């Protein structure tokens, strides 16, 4: 009973609360006001578009804090010594689980038909012109966010539950929550997340680290944005 309560409330429960705060923080008036002020100072002619852009950046940075450092501290304080996959990847399968999938994800990002990219979600920043500065800010926002996001799923939510309940149960909980987190994007994203989540958990487990799934996720997100901007009829690179 103790391990059940510990497993449910310490890890999935805390993760769910932190993720919900991240998901709905873009409706929080102080964040919208701050995004508006930053957008106005950066570009006085930007209007609501700059507010939307900086809302996305601030939300992603808060997501990094909530799902990354905050959960790291929580795990260290609540369960000191519990493995959370924070070390660098290692193990005998490192090449096959690191280099080969990276090549596959890069190739799929390059070769993926633009018709398969949902423009309603990518890019999240809805600006028509994309100079290098905006590309850099958008890329950094994705990288920071995915560090926290992947740690939350493949670190905080995975490794401790492997110790408590075993690999199979931890995998099932992880994949279920991961696919549900994508359900608002439609069946394609949700089913894709189900199978991708299985692969990411196996990679994390056999390398004892969440860093390779973090790398793969960054490749996918940045590739989707670049492809979407290039193909979007109302967007262009400057």
pLDDT of residue 96: 92
| CA–CA separation, 20 and 10 (whole Å) | 16
Greater confidence (134 vs 234) lies with 134
Its pTM stands at: 0.90
Residue 181, helix vs strand vs coil = coil
**Predicted pLDDT at 6:** 57
Number of domains in the chain: 1
E strand segments, 55-201:
129-130
- Please give the residue range of the domain that contains residue 142: 2-237
Residue 228, helix vs strand vs coil: helix
pLDDT of residue 204: 97
Token pair 């901007």: residue: 229
What tens digit of pLDDT does each residue of 71-104 get? 999 988 887 778 899 999 999 999 999 999 999 8
pLDDT of 200 strictly over 90: yes
Other Cβ atoms closer than 10 A to 97: 21
Q: Which two tokens stand for residue 24?
A: 């709905």
């Amino acid at each position: 009973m103790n391990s059940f309560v510990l497993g449910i409330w310490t890890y999935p429960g805390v993760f769910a609360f932190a993720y919900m705060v991240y998901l709905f923080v873009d409706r929080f008036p102080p964040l919208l006001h701050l995004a508006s002020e930053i957008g106005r100072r950066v570009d006085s002619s930007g209007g609501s578009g700059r507010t939307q852009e900086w809302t996305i950046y601030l939300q992603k940075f808060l997501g990094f804090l909530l799902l990354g450092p905050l959960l790291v501290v929580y795990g260290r304080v609540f369960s000191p010594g519990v493995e959370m996959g924070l070390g660098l990847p290692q193990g005998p399968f490192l090449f096959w689980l690191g280099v080969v999938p990276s090549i596959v994800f890069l190739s799929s990002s390059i070769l993926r038909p633009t018709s398969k990219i949902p423009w309603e979600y990518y890019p999240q920043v809805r600006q028509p012109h994309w100079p290098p500065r905006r590309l850099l800010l958008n890329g950094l926002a994705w990288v920071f966010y995915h560090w926290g996001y992947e740690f939350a799923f493949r670190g905080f939510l995975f490794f401790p539950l492997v110790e408590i309940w075993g690999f199979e149960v931890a995998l099932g909980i992880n994949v279920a929550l991961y696919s549900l987190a994508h359900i608002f994007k439609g069946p394609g994203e949700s089913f894709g997340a189900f199978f991708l989540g299985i692969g990411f958990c196996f990679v994390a487990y056999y390398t004892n680290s969440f860093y390779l799934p973090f790398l793969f996720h960054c490749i996918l997100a940045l590739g989707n944005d670049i492809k979407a901007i290039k193909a979007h009829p109302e967007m262009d690179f400057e």
